[in-house]
Amino acid sequence: MPIGWLLDRMASWEDVEAVIWRAEPVSYEQLLGRARQWRVRLAEDGVGEGHIVALEGGLSPDICALLIALIQHRAVIVPLGPVSDRNRFDFLQIAQGQHVYAFDAGGAVKVSHRPCSPPTGLLRELIARGEPGLVLFTSGSSGNPKAVVHSLERLLWKFQKPRARLRTAGLFRLDHIAGFDSIFYALSSGGTLIVVENYQPDEMCRAIEHHAANHLTATPTFLRLLLGSGACWRHDLSSLQLVTYGSEVMPEATLHVLRKAMPNARFIQKYGLTELGSPRSRSKDSDSAWIKIVDGDFEARVVNGTLQIRTRSSMLGYLNAPDPFTADGWFDTGDAVETDGEYIRILGRKSEVINVGGEKVYPAEVENVLLEMPNVKDVIVRGEPNQILGNIVSAAVSVLEPETAESLGSRMRKFCKGRLARYKIPVKVEVVTDAQYGDRFKKQRAQKG
Amino acid sequence: MTRDDVVEVLLGCLSVLAQEEPDRFKLDLSEETILFGYDAGLDSLGLVMLLLSVEEALHARHGVSVPLMDERALSQRHSPFRTVRTLTDYIIANFG
C-alpha cells in the first residue's frame, strides 16, 4: 500500500488537530475517517487505480482527505490553481486528466469525467509501476508553463523521518510544490495546518494570533504585504517561532523590519523548485540571505555560477518539454548563486540578468536597495533593450504617496549613489499604481521586448 | 518647437546631470560643449541618461516624441551625439 507508513503514523495521532479550516479543527482520526469515505466514493465514481485525477479548489479538510485517498488509490493527482478556462483546458490535455473534482467556495464538489486515450509517456511508466503521482505546472514566467511529473513515492520519501511538530499557518496552495511540501511535512509529523484562504494580510495575522501558530510559511511578497498593510502591528504575533519563506529572493531591508514585527521568530529561507521539491536548509543567521542545504537527500554544486542539484526526490521529467537533466542526473536550476564556503546566496534567475554594456545586473539586488527608499511600496526592476548599451535598467515603482516619476527618479539616483554601482542604478523610472503580482504572488518580471 | 527650445532643453538636462554627478561631469555648458566621442564629457552610460532625459523633457514640454537612440540616430554618417549643437541640429532636422 502506498504511504502505509504515513497512514500508520497519522492513525497514532488520533485526536491531535490536523487541519484548522474556517476556525473549525479537524483531528487526524476524523481526517482518516473522511479519507476512507472518499475511497468508497472514488470507486463509485469509476475512478480506478492509476487514474489521472485533477483537483480544483483551495485546501480544506475534505480536499486533504481526498488527497490521501487518491494516493492510496495510486492515482496521479493534477492540482489546478485558479487558472483561465483556456489554461485549464490545456493543462487537462497535457496532463491527460480523466476525472475532475472541482470544489466550490462552499466546499461542495462537482465531478466530471473526460474521455481519454490510455496514458502515454512518463505517465504510463509511472502508472505501470503502481506509484501514485503528481503533476504540477511551473509558473511559466519565462515561456509556457511546463508540466512536471513527480512520483509521490519518491517525493514523499523524505518525510519518513519524523520532524518537529508545528502549528503552521499558510495558504497551502495545492498547485504549488511549496504548498504540497508544507501539507505533507505537517501530516507526517503530527503538525497542524492552519489554513488561511485568501491573500488578506489581516486574515493571516488573525489566524496566527487566534490559533497560536508557531510557524508561518509565505512568500517574501506576502510578508512585505503584512508589513505594508500594517497588519503585523495590529495583531499579536509573538507565538511565531519560525517563519519560512521561499520562491523569490527576500529583500534584506524587508527581513530587518520583519524581525521587529515577529521578535520571537527565526527566519529561514527555503529553496525549492517545482522540479525538485524543497531540501532542508539552514540560514547563516536570521538576517542573512546565505543558506546551506543540509538535506542528506540533496547534493548541490555550482557550475559556471549556476546552481545544480541532484536528488532522489526529483521529478521524473516534463510532459511537454525536453529532459533537462545532465547525463549523470544533475538538474540545472537556472539560478545564479554566489558561494561562501558551504553557503550559497541566490542572486536571481540567470535568465533575468540584465546585461548593461557588458556588465551584469541582477534585478533582485537593485530591488533590495530601492525598497529601502522612503515612499517606495514595491518595485520591479527589469531590463529594456537599448541601442547604445544593449540593455538599460528600468524600474517600475509603486509608491505610498503620489509622486512624479521625475522627482522619484532624482531621489533614486541620489539614494543609490554609493549603494549600487553606477551601471546598476535604473536610468528609467516609472510610477505604477498597482503592483504587478502574478497569481502566485511572485513577481512578474518578464523583460520588456 | 524652435531651435532655441531644443537648446534650452538640452542644456537644462545636461546641467541636471552635472549637478547629480559633479565629480564625473565637468561641463562648461554651451552649444559647443562636447557630449560624446573623442575627449568626450560623457561616457556611454552618461550619454544614455542624457538622451533619455532629453526625450522625456521634449515630450513633456513640447509634446513631441523624439526617439534619439534608434537605428536612424545611430547610423548617421556624422554622429549627432558629438556636441550640443550637432544634437540640436539632428533634432530640428528630423523632428522640428
State the smallest CA–CA distance between residue B44 and chain A in angstroms. Answer: 7
Structural contact between residues A320 and A147, judged by C-beta atoms closer than 8 angstroms:
yes
pTM of the predicted protein model: 0.75
- Chain A within 8 Å of B52 (Cβ-Cβ)? yes
**Are B74 and A388 inside 8 Å of each other by CB?**
yes
Res B74: pLDDT: 80
Q: What is the CA radius of gyration of chain A?
A: 22
**Are A388 and B49 inside 8 Å of each other by CB?**
no
Closest CB to A389 among B48, B70, B73: B48
Identify the contact set of chain A against chain B, taking CB-CB distances under 8 A. 356-357, 386-389, 392, 406, 410, 413-414, 422-423, 427-428
Domains of chain A and any CATH numbers: 4-156 (3.40.50.980), 158-350 (3.40.50.12780), 353-431 (3.30.300.30)
Res B19: pLDDT: 85
Residue of A427, A430, A431 for testing the chain B interface, max B β-carbons within 10 Å: A427
**Are B69 and A356 inside 8 Å of each other by CB?**
no
- Amino acid identity at B83: T
- Per residue in A212-257, pLDDT (tens digit) is 999 999 987 788 778 877 888 899 999 999 999 875 666 677 788 8
- State the Cα–Cα distance between residues A393 and A370, nearest whole angstrom: 13
B16: left (phi over 0), alpha (psi -120 to 50) or beta: alpha
Res A63: pLDDT: 96
State the smallest CA–CA distance between residue A443 and chain B in angstroms. Answer: 26
State the smallest CA–CA distance between residue B74 and chain A in angstroms. Answer: 8
Res A448: pLDDT: 44
Residues in chain A closer than 8 A to B35 (CB atoms): none
Instruction: List per-residue pLDDT tens for chain B, 96 residues long.
Output: 899 999 999 999 998 888 887 776 666 788 888 888 666 678 888 889 999 999 999 999 999 999 998 888 887 778 898 889 999 999 999 987
- Amino acid identity at B72: R
Residues in chain A closer than 8 A to B76 (CB atoms): none
**Are B47 and A388 inside 8 Å of each other by CB?**
yes
Cell numbers linked to A174: 495545492
**Are A387 and B71 inside 8 Å of each other by CB?**
yes
Structural contact between residues A82 and A52, judged by C-beta atoms closer than 8 angstroms:
no
Res A28: pLDDT: 98
| CATH number, position B37 | 1.10.1200
Alpha-carbon torsion angle A436, A442, A445, A446, nearest 10: -100
The domain in which residue B86 lies consists of: 3-95
Res B27: pLDDT: 63
For residue A420, give every residue at least 6 positions away whose Cβ sits within 8 Å of its Cβ, in sequence order, or none.
A365, A366, A369
Shortest CA distance from B20: residue in chain A: A414
Residue of A386, A388, A424 for testing the chain B interface, max B β-carbons within 10 Å: A388
Closest CB to B74 among A387, A413, A422: A387
- State the Cα–Cα distance between residues A154 and A315, nearest whole angstrom: 9
* Total count of domains within chain B: 1
- Per residue in A23-76, pLDDT (tens digit) is 899 999 999 999 999 999 999 999 999 999 999 999 999 999 999 999 999 999
**Are A389 and B52 inside 8 Å of each other by CB?**
no
Closest CB to B48 among A392, A406, A414: A392
State the smallest CA–CA distance between residue B69 and chain A in angstroms. Answer: 6
State the smallest CA–CA distance between residue A387 and chain B in angstroms. Answer: 6
pLDDT < 70 stretches in chain A: 139-143, 247-251, 286-287, 434-449
Work out the widest C-alpha separation in chain A, in whole angstroms: 68
How far CA A282 is from CA of A304, A308, A344, B39, B96, in Å, comes to 23, 18, 10, 53, 62
State the smallest CA–CA distance between residue A362 and chain B in angstroms. Answer: 17
- Per residue in B56-82, pLDDT (tens digit) is 999 999 999 999 988 888 877 788 988
State the smallest CA–CA distance between residue B70 and chain A in angstroms. Answer: 6
Res A445: pLDDT: 59
- Chain A within 8 Å of B23 (Cβ-Cβ)? no
List, as one string, the DSSP characters of A10-62.
Answer: HHHTTTSEEEEETTEEEEHHHHHHHHHHHHHHHHHTT--TT-EEEEES---HH
